[in-house]
Amino acid sequence: MTTTEETPRTDPVAGLAAVRQAVDSACARAGREAGSVTLVAASKTVPPDVLARTIEAGHLVYGENRVQEARAKWPPLRERCPEIELHLIGPLQSNKAREAVALFDVVHSLDRASLCQALARECARQGRMPQFFVQVNTGAEPQKAGVLPDAADAFVAACKETYGLDVRGLMCIPPAGEPPEPHFALLAAIAARNGLPLLSMGMSNDYASAVEHGATHVRVGSAIFGARPPWTAA
Ligand SMILES: *Cc1c(COP(=O)(O)O)cnc(C)c1O
Distances (CA, A) of 130 to 16, 85, 166: 25, 11, 7
In this predicted structure, the answer to whether residue 160 has a pLDDT above a threshold of 50 is yes
Cβ of residue 173 lying under 6 Å from some atom of ligand 1 = yes
pLDDT digits (tens, 9 = 90+) for 1-27: 444 444 455 799 999 999 999 999 999
Does residue 174 have its Cβ closer than 6 Å to ligand 1? no
Residues in the chain: 234
Would the pLDDT of 233 be above 90? no
> What's 147's DSSP letter?
B
141, amino acid identity: E
- Distance (angstroms) between ligand 1 centre and the Cα of 208 equals 14
Q: Of ligand 1's atoms, which has the minimum distance to the CA of residue 44?
A: 1
**Cα 125 to ligand 1 centroid, rounded to whole Å:** 31
pLDDT at 47 over 60: yes
Average pLDDT (132-140) is 98
Q: Is 133 left (phi over 0), alpha (psi -120 to 50) or beta?
A: beta
Atom of ligand 1 nearest to the CA of 89: 13
Q: For atom 10 of ligand 1, which residue has the closest CA?
A: 219
Residue 65 CA: which ligand 1 atom is closest? 15
| pLDDT tens readout for residues 194-230 | 999 999 999 999 999 999 999 999 999 999 999 988 7
What's the average model confidence in pLDDT over 132-141?
98
Instruction: State the DSSP string of 162-173.
Output: TT---EEEEE--
Mean pLDDT score, 78-98:
97
172 lines ligand 1 (CB under 6 A): no
Q: What is the pTM of this model?
A: 0.94
Helix (H, G, I), strand (E, B) or coil at 48: helix
How many angstroms does the Cα of residue 153 sit away from the middle of ligand 1?
Answer: 25
pLDDT for 231 equals 72
Please state, in angstroms and as integers, the Cα–Cα distance from residue 108 to each residue in 59, 95, 201, following that order. 19, 17, 10
* 1 Cα to the center of ligand 1, angstroms: 13
